[in-house]
Amino acid sequence: MLKLWRTFTSSRMLICMATGCSSGLPLYVLYQLLPAWLRDRGVDLTTIGLFSLVAFPYTWKFLWSPLMDRYRPSALGRRRGWALITQIVLMLAIASLSLVDPVRAIGPVLAITSVIAFASASQDVTLDALRREILPDEELGFGNSLFVNAYRISSLVPGSLALILADILPWSQVHLVVAAFMGVGIATTLLMQEPETNVPPPASFREAVIEPFGAFFRSRGVKQALGVLAFMLLYKLGDSMATALSTPFYLDLGFTKTEIGTVAKVAALWSSIAGGFLGGALMLKIGINKALWLFGVVQLLSIFGFAALAEHGADMTWLFWVVSFEYLGVGLGTAAFVAFIARSTDKRYTATQLALLTSMTGIPRTFANASTGYLVDSYGYTAFFLLCAALAIPGMLMLPWIAPWNQSDADAIRDGT
């Protein structure tokens, strides 16, 4: 227990938590605040669902990640320099949402959210690389679980605080309040040290762009590498779709914005904290592979809670427990999944390989989430959530091949899997 506490309070873990907040906030602006704002202003569900397409930068960020691996933009260093630039852009872009009205013109909203998505994806490139470089291999599971935990908790700003404030303030002021929270990331970047690494930055175009992709396939073979990529496409597909329209779902059931901002988000808070600590502690003991199996089952089962809530209707008790279980399951699954992705990279090419792998996970989310509004309008919420549960199964079926139950983390790193 003392060792766990010392690990938790180390500067490495504090950086993981602070950068998790900075990384999660803009994503939840796109996936929670934006749908709630548009729906509250009377925008139809199909249009809201199509806004998921602005998340394309999360899918294509590997295209410019080699530049972030190779070049140092300021005296702050390679990782801190890029982090500060993206965080300042994000603060300004989120604040600029206060200047537009989606009822009068949807175009400016689309342009601003596209900037948010690009800057957010770029921030993720440098923060993912930074986390991989400061965490020893044995702390990847715990550090990434804390990162995911903080990432989830950051949703309380655009998904809870913003909704509560929107009942008493105009949306223009709400956007300014949310933008101010990017100050957490900016302060962390200015205060922390640039990671120390014995690996020099790429010295040529080939080293920066071609070699990271070649190394990924050479280290594990083409068949295994393609299997890893397919697994990353499928493991989070079901729960990503299930949560894409969660706030409009609550609104359509009849919950008020204040009820969603208090009951639903408080439930998300306690279950995220519990899931983060439980997941991190368990991964220190059982390893990443077993965590993918166990946490994936909980993640799958949690989707059925949404289907049950859709049938039961607007009940505050049901809302609390369904959201609690969902955030516990998704939080656990995400913690193990992010640790698996980090373990799969080569420290010589952290930014580029992490950008490639995390981009792969964004492909199904981008395309599938764009269809969620149409699916709900056509078939209803219950059938939609049952479909999401079915889509979560293929990734689980790949675990015996991709992450064997009895394979240790040390063996996985040595074998390149």
d(CA 66, CA 355): 9
Provide the pLDDT for residue 384.
93
Output the average pLDDT for the chain. Answer: 85
In a domain, 1, yes or no: no
Provide the pLDDT for residue 369.
65
d(CA 110, CA 104): 13
Residue 257 sits in a domain whose CATH number is 1.20.1250.20
d(CA 321, CA 309): 10
Six token digits for residue 192:
């922390």
Name which of 417, 365, 366, 356 is nearest 392 in CA terms: 365
Span 273-280, mean pLDDT? 77
d(CA 142, CA 287): 10
Res. 301 pLDDT band, cuts 50 70 90: very high
Residue 309 above 70 pLDDT?
Answer: yes
* Residue 99 structural domain: 11-415
Res. 60 pLDDT band, cuts 50 70 90: confident
Residue 277 above 80 pLDDT?
Answer: no
Side-chain-side CA neighbours of 247 within 13 Å: the count stands at 28
Res. 273 pLDDT band, cuts 50 70 90: confident
In a domain, 2, yes or no: no
Residue 196 above 90 pLDDT?
Answer: no
What percentage of the chain carries pLDDT values higher than 90?
A: 30
pLDDT tens across 321-347, in order? 988 888 788 778 877 888 888 888 877
**Counted domains in the chain:** 1
- Residue pair 149/47 in contact (Cβ under 8 Å)? The answer is no
- Residue pair 70/208 in contact (Cβ under 8 Å)? The answer is yes
Span 99-121, mean pLDDT? 90
- Is the four-CA dihedral 36, 37, 40, 44 of positive or negative sign? negative
pLDDT tens across 36-53, in order? 898 888 887 777 877 777
Amino acid in the structure at residue 301: L
Six token digits for residue 78:
């390679």
In a domain, 5, yes or no: no
Provide the pLDDT for residue 98.
92
In a domain, 6, yes or no: no
- b/e for 48-67, b at 16 or more Cβ within 10 A? bbbbbebbbbbbbbbeebbb
Residue 286 above 70 pLDDT?
Answer: yes
pLDDT tens across 361-399, in order? 766 666 666 778 888 888 899 999 999 999 999 999 999
In a domain, 30, yes or no: yes
Six token digits for residue 289:
């592979």
Stated pTM of the model: 0.71
In a domain, 4, yes or no: no
In a domain, 166, yes or no: yes
The residue count for the chain: 417
d(CA 179, CA 157): 10
- Residue pair 188/18 in contact (Cβ under 8 Å)? The answer is yes
d(CA 300, CA 235): 10
- Residue pair 94/116 in contact (Cβ under 8 Å)? The answer is yes
In a domain, 318, yes or no: yes
Which residue bears the tokens 């990331």?
Answer: 185
Residue 248 above 90 pLDDT?
Answer: no
Lowest mean pLDDT among 159-173, 193-207, 327-341: 193-207
Span 112-120, mean pLDDT? 95
- Residue pair 343/231 in contact (Cβ under 8 Å)? The answer is no
d(CA 249, CA 26): 21
d(CA 362, CA 160): 24
d(CA 314, CA 316): 7
